Amino acid sequence: MSQAITRRSNAVSRPAYSAPSGDVADLIALKRDHFAVWKRDITPDRVRALRQQLAISERALAPADPEKIKSWLARLAPMVTNPPEPNGAILQIFCEVCSDIPDAAWTPESRLAWVRQPRRNGVAVGSFWPSPAELFNHLDTFGQKLRDEVAILKNLLAIAETPPEPEPTKLDAAEIARRKAVLAKLREELQAVDAEQDRKSAALRGSVREEKIAENPRKTNFSAGTEVPDMVG
């Protein structure tokens, strides 16, 4: 066994991972389902619970000790066909390939998940001993769930620690009067623009009528501004 694995096997044992529960589990589920969580939803008690869970989950992200990997493999052996003895070089290979798998992924649940996985092309894959690469891919799904959990916990704490927005400034009487004056002036300017537009439109209509009179003087009733039909002799 390599020196790296030997050093890891002598590491101090870590507390067992505890999955989130109660309000913490509910908040994580909301975030996973893409629901909004607001600062007001995260009370001081929930903040304390989130911090405690984050500490637990971050510890569980550390790689597993070789003894734990050996124990996990030894318990898998009776469940599958023709397993090797998980010692020596075989254990070293599994430890090296699965070195990034979090400690909390090596659980009875993940072991049963290997055995109970669906058939592939009619083959009961879970009835066979996994290769190191197969085991890495299998356990990494459990590891990714834990990584996501840590990310969500950090996000929830960031929401809780967001500074409150400043209260809107209250307007005094002078400011209210000033804003009313600005609005009144703007209203006058808009009315002036509308009046000028009406004047131009009226002038344009008058110009068009004069042109028609000039072109057809015999067909125009000057008093009414309407055309008069030709008189037939």
Q: Is the pLDDT of residue 155 over 50?
A: yes
The answer to which of 12-16, 134-138, 181-185 has the lowest mean pLDDT is 12-16
**Residue 57: what pLDDT?**
95
The structure tokens listed for 26 are 């509910």
Q: Quick one: CA dihedral 133, 137, 138, 140, positive or negative?
A: positive
User: What integer pLDDT is reported at residue 153 of this predicted model?
Assistant: 96
pLDDT score, position 17 = 86
- pLDDT recorded at residue 3: 42
Q: Is the overall model pTM greater than 0.75, yes or no?
A: no
Which pLDDT score is estimated for 105? 95
Q: Specify the range with the lowest mean pLDDT, choosing from 5-14, 57-66, 100-109.
A: 5-14
Spatial CA neighbour of 64 closest among 21, 106, 30: 106
Chain mean pLDDT for the chain: 85
Domain boundaries, the chain: 3-160, 173-222
Q: Compute the average pLDDT of residues 116-139.
A: 92
Q: Which residue has the higher pLDDT, 217 or 104?
A: 104
Instruction: Say if residue 27's pLDDT is above 90.
Output: yes
Stated as kind and residue range, the H or E segment containing 226 is strand 226-227
Distance CA 215, CA 205 (A): 16
- List helix spans (H) across 41-105: 44-60, 66-76, 88-97
Residues 185, 49: Cα–Cα separation, whole Å: 57
DSSP bridge pairs for 226 = 221
Q: Is the pLDDT of residue 205 over 90?
A: no
Burial status of residue 22 (CB atoms within 10 A of its CB: 0-12, 13-18, 19 or more)? exposed
pLDDT at position 140, please? 96
Whole-number pLDDT of residue 198: 86
The yes-or-no verdict on residue 14 having pLDDT over 90 is no
In this predicted model, which residue has the larger pLDDT, 13 or 27? 27
pLDDT of residue 221: 54
What size, in residues, is the chain?
A: 233
Q: What is the pLDDT of residue 202?
A: 82
| pLDDT of residue 4 exceeding 50 | no
Contact present, 149 and 20 (Cβ < 8 Å): yes
Cα 34 from Cα 74, distance rounded (Å): 39
